[in-house]
Amino acid sequence: MVDKQTAYILWFDQLGIEDVPLVGGKNASLGEMYRELTPKGIRVPNGFAITAYAYRVFIERTGIRQKIVEILTGLDTRNVKDLAERGRKIRQLFYDAQMPEDLREAIAQAYRDLSNAYHMEEADVAVRSSATAEDLPDASFAGQQETYLNIVGLPALLEAVRKAFASLFTNRAISYRQDKGFDHFKVALSVGVQKMVRSDKGSSGVMFTLDTETGFRNVILINAAYGLGENVVQGAVNPDQYYVFKPTLREGYRPIIQKKLGEKEYTMVYAHDGNKPTKNIPTPEEKRKQYALTDEDILTLARWGMLIEEHYSRKAGHEKPMDIEWAKDGLTGELFIVQARPETVMSRRDPNEYVEYILKEKGRELVRGMAVGSKIGIGRVHVIRDVHHMSEFQPGEVLVTDITDPDWEPIMKMASAIITNRGGRTSHAAIVSRELGIPAIVGTGNATEVLKNGMDVTVDCSSGEQGIVYEGRLEYEEKHVRLDQLPETKTEVKLIIGTPEKAFHYSFLPVKGVGLAREEFIINSYIKVHPLALIHYADLPGDLQREIDEITRPYADKTQFYIDKLAEGIGMIAAAFYPRPVIVRTSDFKSNEYAGLLGGTLFEPHEENPMIGWRGASRYYHPRFKDAFLLEVEAFKKVRNEFGLTNVHVMIPFTRTPEEGRRVVDLMESHGLRRGDKGLRFYVMAEIPSNVLLADEYAKTFDGFSIGSNDLTQLTFGLDRDSELVSHVADERHPAARRMMELMIKAAKKAGREIGICGQAPSDFPEIAAFLVEQGIDSISVNPDRVIKTIQLVAEKERELAERNE
């Protein structure tokens, strides 16, 4: 029996979570997974850990420990130059020291045994360091210690082990421990030695079992790129991004609710020139245009991610989201998990503390990229292209650089915001900025060229997936609300939403679902091409085909691109609020708006007044547009049948007559989208006087109504709200507009149909919300920034009505 406390080497199959003090969290989790999760189908490469006891023996016998004490005496981590010099001296002690003979022989024997197990003379291994205080629930930092890939031969392995030991005293690790109050010698280092997965010929990346931007728990987030995984971890490439919805994945569905193609500019491969074990080569253009993972790979990884999360949650006795690294062997096609640790930033977020940052003005846009977090930061630009110039950085400045790695930590914590040219949501800059609570924009491509030293800028991450850097110091507002202190209401308050990227953030709002999800933003931002241009792609001019090819890569089938991207946009919103109902309005572009899509002018008529022209239901069954509408039907079917998001319901806009409504419903049902199937409900917008006057007829076809107060008001007054000459007449507070809403509510109630409102009126005018409650409306849908006030207003009005009726 091995005495673990005094062992130099412990094999993964000997390790469990209880061994964290001996081998650190990463190595313990590798052992735990190898021992307990490989029987469940998860693949983990075999290997061994050089223990924290071995590390302590090394620093004691070589005399390094006392020298470290002397070097660190009087350290001030804010003095970046002094920190760097002390760190360099300590690391040199490790590089120069001789490995104690008994430790050297123990490592050599373990390496021989591992090589023999894989029938190799000298196995290629990954050397991963794991500190015994790393990734604690209240103290985590990305990549404090080092990883070395494609290490071959005993001399190279021993050198990598010494470097790994030394990495306990990198500048950022010294600074981090000092700032957190950890004793440098109560933290030890273990080294994991693991058989390499040949992802240099395949792909690799990172997986989180929650959304890293919001803390939303019901998704798996996967980032993927070609080659070895360090490019994704370090943010050296912009990877593919995939989201998978956990609840319906458990039920056997295939809910890949988002797939975003990354640039994947470089591929990290084995180097054979003898200088370095790995190198980056440009990724061929054709590969960059393809996803790095198949759908089956994505779903397999997501299932493994759930198994890993469930395993460690049981061990911990509470939910424990995980941060996981994976690799795909390009020789065998097999997937492997190579590392797992607790996620320690968003998992600690209080879901009842709702914070919103609102930019009050807009300036000139300078650059944009991927937003990390939802905050807004203001400061003076400082472009630093090289880590050796870090000492020039001043507290409160905006750090602008090509890419960060852990060496940048001492100045990252001083920044008001961070902007990088390269990297994705799981890059070093993104992970550290979340840890520090600093807004960051990554993957801008050209920030170091566009932004100049000394410029005052506002870094806005509050508007969704895209972060924008504006010129100047712009005014913004920060709102804090305790959601668990809001009152309950009988009248349901729901959300109006159009941007899928904000859905996870808004999911924490105490709404009863989504009363209006708009397709228009998804089509404008995700798809950008007129649906008929995709259907008739083969007949288009060559230059237009090339533009469409650029947008639709990697799709050969252009109509499938439309279906998939529309389904993904709807799916992101539906997943955020699952199982709460999400009512999605089918596309309600006017002809001039459709013409603005790529290729749209070839298929759209010119109308003098498109506001009351060819829009809504009249389009859907028309021979000139029916095929385009059927792509929407296919997207709804994918969301409900493939993703399993049966909380999605369909709403038809601008339905001029009951006969039009029936034609559209018949068309949808004839193509497999059937009312009542798995609870599917069809709604109709009540936005034309005919909807109000013939509500009893519409009720025969539809399950409910939603008042569109914007159009209902303009059509009640017979005006075009886009005309500045008469738009002032349209006012939802006018008795005529209120009477129309009152009649609609009464008619729906009489017909036994659900009735809500999704127009702008309750968001803009609190008195309209109060009026609707008084009329007995079932639900009120408002914009996200009005949810809190509307809930409070509705509760107050309901109390008032209850007191009046006593």
C-alpha 586: how far from chain center: 25
Which pair of structure tokens corresponds to residue 450?
A: 């566009």
Q: Which residues contact 427 (CB under 8 A, 6 or more apart)?
A: 232, 233, 234, 235, 403, 404, 420, 442
C-alpha–C-alpha distance, residues 685 and 652, integer Å: 6
734 labelled catalytic: no
Cis peptide before 784 (omega within 30 of 0): no
Q: 388 to each of 407, 427, 451, 533, 568, how far by Cα in Å? A: 10, 21, 20, 52, 44
The catalytic residue among 505, 530, 649, 758 is 758
Q: Which of 493, 729, 575, 549 is nearest to 244 (CA)?
A: 575
Q: Residue 582, Cβ neighbours under 10 Å: how many? A: 27
Which pair of structure tokens corresponds to residue 645?
A: 């998001």
Q: 552 to each of 159, 455, 537, 719, how far by Cα in Å? A: 48, 37, 12, 39
**Tokens 């006795």 found at:** 317
Sheet (strand 203-208) strand order: 256-260, 240-245, 219-226, 203-208, 322-328, 335-342
**Tokens 């470097």 found at:** 163
SS3 at position 341: strand
C-alpha–C-alpha distance, residues 257 and 645, integer Å: 10
Torsion on CA atoms 458, 462, 468, 470, rounded to nearest 10: -30
The catalytic residue among 311, 428, 505, 649 is 428
Q: Which residues contact 689 (CB under 8 A, 6 or more apart)?
A: 712, 715, 716, 740
C-alpha–C-alpha distance, residues 695 and 688, integer Å: 11
Which pair of structure tokens corresponds to residue 164?
A: 């790994």
Kindly provide the residue ranges of all beta strands, DSSP E only, lying in 58-146, ordered along the sequence: 124-131
C-alpha–C-alpha distance, residues 632 and 228, integer Å: 39
Cβ distance 430 to 418 under 8 Å? no
Cβ distance 196 to 338 under 8 Å? no
Kind and range of the H or E run holding 375: none
Single-letter code of the amino acid located at 381: V
C-alpha–C-alpha distance, residues 758 and 783, integer Å: 9
Number of H helices, E strands in the chain: 30, 30
Beta pairing partners, 119: none
Cβ distance 29 to 341 under 8 Å? yes
Cβ distance 782 to 805 under 8 Å? no
Query: Furthest-apart CA pair in the chain: how many Å?
Result: 93
Which pair of structure tokens corresponds to residue 640?
A: 């409900």
Q: Which of 443, 460, 445, 243 is nearest to 373 (CA)?
A: 460
758 labelled catalytic: yes
At 391, give phi and psi (nearest 5°).
-65, -15
**Tokens 């914070």 found at:** 355
Single-letter code of the amino acid located at 134: E
Which pair of structure tokens corresponds to residue 122?
A: 């000298």
Cβ distance 126 to 196 under 8 Å? yes
C-alpha–C-alpha distance, residues 274 and 737, integer Å: 79
Cβ distance 327 to 300 under 8 Å? no
C-alpha–C-alpha distance, residues 13 and 39, integer Å: 12
Cβ distance 127 to 192 under 8 Å? yes
CA angle 343, 7, 10 (to 5 degrees): 50
Cβ distance 47 to 35 under 8 Å? no
Residues marked as catalytic: 428, 758
